[in-house]
């Protein structure tokens, strides 16, 4: 198993609006940051890939430890989401915070899938890390092992 990096150093799940998000975010989230995250959730849950990629920097990266997956740019992410990543269709997201940045517990229709940690810069998402070790991570973030709509 790959070693975890610093995004998981803070194992407390708190509402995004109350979190100290550091970096390019503010405490509490400003209206633009909240809207960006709301749009991300709507696009992801609706599996609207055009809307999702519109929220991303051109050089955005997506990775998924411990898998050897590393994508860069809109085209790579779009193609992956419409191909191999299409198992994410129908997912639901539950907000949390990881090391002071926005994060989400992702629940596929088949069950918990990933802790998604977002890196935001200049009003767009520049990095997406999907940590797959949900059995270990979800309890650390107060995320349930099943999603009840």
Q: CB of 40 within 8 A of CB of 127? A: no
What are the structure tokens assigned to 103, written together? 């994060």
Q: CB of 112 within 8 A of CB of 106? A: yes
- Local confidence pLDDT in tens for the 149 residues of the chain: 333 333 333 334 444 444 444 455 545 677 888 899 999 999 999 999 999 999 999 999 999 988 999 999 999 999 999 999 999 999 999 999 998 899 999 999 999 999 999 999 899 999 999 999 999 999 999 999 987 76
What is the rounded CA–CA span in Å between residue 62 and residue 65?
A: 10
**What are the beta bridge partners of residue 125?**
56, 120
Q: CB of 13 within 8 A of CB of 142? A: yes
Query: Parallel, antiparallel, or unpaired for β 92-98 and 111-121?
Result: unpaired
Residue 30's pLDDT is: 77
Residue 33's pLDDT is: 85
Residue 146's pLDDT is: 87
Alpha carbon separation from 62 to 12, 29, 108 (Å, rounded) = 23, 23, 18
């Amino acid at each position: 198993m790959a070693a975890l990096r610093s995004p998981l150093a803070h194992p407390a799940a708190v509402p995004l609006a109350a979190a100290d998000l550091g970096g390019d975010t503010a405490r509490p989230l400003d209206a633009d940051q909240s809207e960006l995250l709301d749009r991300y959730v709507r696009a992801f849950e609706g599996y609207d890939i055009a809307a999702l990629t519109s929220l991303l920097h051109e050089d955005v990266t997506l990775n998924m430890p411990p898998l050897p997956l590393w994508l860069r740019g809109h085209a790579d992410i779009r193609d992956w989401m419409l191909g191999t990543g299409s198992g994410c269709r129908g997912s639901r997201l539950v907000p949390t915070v990881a090391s002071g940045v926005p994060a989400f517990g992702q629940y596929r229709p088949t069950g918990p899938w990933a802790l998604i940690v977002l890196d935001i810069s200049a009003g767009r998402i520049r990095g997406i890390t999907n940590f797959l070790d949900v059995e270990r991570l979800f309890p650390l973030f107060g995320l349930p092992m099943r999603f009840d709509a």
